[in-house]
Structure 1
Amino acid sequence: MMKGVVRLEFRGPVAILYMDYGENRVDGQLIADFNRALDQVESNPSIKALVTTGVGKFYSNGLNLRWMTQLAREGRLSELEKFHLERLLFLERLLTFPIPTVAAINGHSVAEGAFWALYHDYRVMRTKRGWFSLPEVHINLVLPQHIIQLTRNRVSGAVVRDALVFGKWYSPEESLQAGFVDQLAEPEELLESAIKLALDCLGKHGYERSALKAMKENVNKGVLEAAAEAKRNIVNIDHFKYARAAKL
Structure 2
Amino acid sequence: MCTLEKRGRVFVLTLTGDGEHRLDADLISSLRSALATVRSSPSSSAKGGGGAALVTVAEGRFFSNGFDLAWANAAGSLSAARARLGSLVALFAPVVADFFSLPMPTIAAVTGHAAAAGLLLALSHDYVLMRGDRGVLYMSELNLGLTFPPYFMAVMREKITYPRALRDVALRASKIAAKEAKERGIVDRVCGGAAETAEEAMRLGEELAAKNWDGGVYASIRMSTFPEICRAVGLVEESDEQKQNKVVSKL
Tell me the TM-score normalised to structure 2 length. 0.82
Find the counterpart in structure 1 of residue 102 from structure 2: 97
Find the counterpart in structure 1 of residue 167 from structure 2: 161
Q: How does 1:176-187 map to 2 (within 5 A)?
A: 176-187=182-193
- 2:97–2:234 CA contact under 8 A, matched in 1: no
Matched, 1:62 2:59: no
Q: Percent identity?
A: 29
Instruction: Write the distance in 2 (CA, Å) between the matches of 1:40 and 1:161.
Output: 37
Aligned residue type for 2:154: Q
SS at match of 2:233: helix
Instruction: Write the distance in 2 (CA, Å) between the matches of 1:37 and 1:175.
Output: 28
- 1:72–1:80 CA contact under 8 A, matched in 2: no
SS at match of 1:143: coil
Find the counterpart in structure 2 of residue 146 from structure 1: 151
Matched, 1:201 2:198: no
Find the counterpart in structure 2 of residue 84 from structure 1: 89
Instruction: Write the distance in 2 (CA, Å) between the matches of 1:77 and 1:149.
Output: 21
Aligned residue type for 2:29: A
1:127-173 CA-partner distances (Å, limit 9, x unpaired): 21101111211111111332222112122221111111111111111
- 1:104–1:123 CA contact under 8 A, matched in 2: yes
Tell me the TM-score normalised to structure 1 length. 0.82
Q: 1:51 to 1:202 in 2, by over 3 A?
A: same
Find the counterpart in structure 1 of residue 245 from structure 2: none
Instruction: Write the distance in 2 (CA, Å) between the matches of 1:11 and 1:20.
Output: 17
Q: 2:57 aligns with which of 22, 29, 53?
A: 53
Matched, 1:29 2:33: no
Q: How does 1:206-217 map to 2 (within 5 A)?
A: 206-217=212-223
Aligned residue type for 2:57: T
Find the counterpart in structure 2 of residue 225 from structure 1: 231
Q: 1:45 to 1:54 in 2, by over 3 A?
A: same
Q: CA RMSD in A?
A: 2.3
Q: 1:157 to 1:11 in 2, by over 3 A?
A: same
Residue 72 of structure 1 deviates from its aligned partner by 6.5
SS at match of 1:149: helix
Find the counterpart in structure 2 of residue 191 from structure 1: 198
